[in-house]
Amino acid sequence: MQQTPQPDPIGWHGTTILCVRHEGHVAMAGDGQVTLGQTIIKGNARKVRRIGADGSVITGFAGATADAFTLLERLEAKLERFPNQLERACVELAKDWRMDRYLRRLEAMMAVADRERSFTLTGNGDVLEPEDGVIAIGSGGNYALAAARALMGAPGQTAEQIARRSLEIAADICVYTNRSIIVETL
């Protein structure tokens, strides 16, 4: 007998995060919608932010908010320990996340970028760098990813314009994504 996956008992949904690396620039965009079941709880949540002592790292998160903030704090601590070594800080966080009994229970994903590299971090211990410079996570992530890949070939588009327009397209398709978009750039 095949078991069907159980839906999230709390019913939290509502994030689209997109990171675009294009022509030497990086933009990370996130929508602001948080829902509980079929109800919008908040429309202007800030899911994209700068971290690090000098604000040289941008990150976006999807998943449980408290879990994401716990991971953000841990990543900041790793960046303090390994300054200017984003990959090493991410790998160290992923190791802790996978090995620590408390952290293993956290339900979130992160997109992280500095001027040189971009990564997706998961609770499975993954630190993934995209081949094409585009990362998308969250319920509307696949819509934003498809839009960004299509827009990357459009002439005259900046990383910020691609990220913003891609989230607008995702908002037109995904009911858990809205147009309250925050973009951080490097």
What are the catalytic residues? 15
CA–CA dist 135, 152 (Å, integer): 13
CB 121 within 8 A of CB 70: no
Closest CA to 106 of 91, 89, 125, 87: 125
Spatial strand order of the sheet with 34-36 comes to: 12-13, 34-36, 39-42
DSSP string, 17-40: EEEEEETTEEEEEE---EEETTEE
